[in-house]
C-alpha cells in the first residue's frame, strides 16, 4: 500500500519521504505562491490560478490572498464561498465546505495530525481525518478547525476558537476548546 493510499484510509502514513506526495505538495505550493503574488486587480489570472489549485468548486467563490494549502485536490467549495486573507487548509484529507460559507481572516483547517507516541512522531508519521462544514456557516477571525471535525448547517464559530469536536446545526459556538454557547433562534 502506498503512503497516499494509507493517508486516504486514515492510517498512519509518512508524507515526508514519499516522493509522490512531496511532488504533489511542491506543485500545489508553487501555484499558491503564484496566486499570492498575482495583483488583486488581475482577476482573470487569479481565477485561472485558483481553479488550478482547487479542482472541486461551484461557480461563485472568492479566496483573498494570501492562501496556502497542501494539495488542493482534497478541497471542495460550495456556491458563494468567501474566505478573507490568510486562509490555510492542510488538506491531506478531504475538506468540504457547503454553500454560503464565510471564513474570517487568519483561519486554518488542519486535517493532518501526529501520533502521541514520540517514536512514531519522530519517524515523520502522521494521520489525516476529513473536515466537513455545512451550509450557511460563518467563521470569525483566527479560528482553527482540527482533524475529523464536522460543523453543522447555519452555525457560527466565534473569533479565536479552536474547534476540536463536532458542532451541531443552528448554534453559536466559541472558545478554546470551542463549545456551544446557545442555539440560534427566530429572535436572532
- Active site positions, annotated: 114
Beta bridge partners of 13: 126
What is the torsional sign of CA 84, 130, 159, 186?
positive
- Residues in contact with 108: Cβ distance below 8 Å, sequence separation at least 6, in sequence order: 87, 88, 89, 90, 143, 144, 145
Do the bridges between strand 171-174 and strand 156-157 make them parallel or antiparallel, or are there none, so unpaired? parallel
Contact 87, 103 (CB under 8 A): yes
* Nearest by Cα to 64 from 98, 30, 102, 92: 102
Q: How far apart, in whole angstroms, are the C-alpha atoms of residue 128 and residue 112?
A: 4
Q: How far apart, in whole angstroms, are the C-alpha atoms of residue 155 and residue 61?
A: 19
Amino acid at each position: 500500500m502506498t503512503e497516499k493510499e494509507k493517508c486516504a484510509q486514515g492510517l498512519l502514513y509518512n508524507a515526508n519521504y514519499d516522493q509522490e506526495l512531496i511532488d504533489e505538495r511542491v506543485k500545489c505550493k508553487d501555484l499558491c505562491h503564484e496566486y499570492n503574488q498575482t495583483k488583486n486587480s488581475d482577476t482573470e489570472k487569479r481565477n485561472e490560478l485558483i481553479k488550478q489549485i482547487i479542482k472541486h468548486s461551484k461557480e461563485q467563490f472568492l479566496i483573498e490572498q494570501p492562501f496556502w494549502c497542501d494539495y488542493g485536490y482534497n478541497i471542495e467549495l460550495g456556491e458563494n464561498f468567501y474566505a478573507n486573507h490568510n486562509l490555510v487548509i492542510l488538506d491531506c484529507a478531504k475538506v468540504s465546505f457547503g454553500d454560503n460559507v464565510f471564513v474570517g481572516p487568519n483561519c486554518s483547517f488542519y486535517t493532518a495530525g501526529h501520533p502521541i507516541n514520540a517514536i512514531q512522531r519522530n519517524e515523520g508519521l502522521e494521520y489525516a481525518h476529513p473536515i466537513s462544514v455545512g451550509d450557511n456557516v460563518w467563521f470569525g477571525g483566527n479560528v482553527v478547525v482540527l482533524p475529523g471535525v464536522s460543523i453543522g448547517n447555519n452555525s457560527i464559530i466565534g473569533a479565536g476558537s479552536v474547534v476540536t469536536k463536532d458542532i451541531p446545526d443552528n448554534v453559536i459556538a466559541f472558545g478554546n476548546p470551542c463549545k456551544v454557547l446557545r442555539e440560534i433562534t427566530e429572535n436572532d
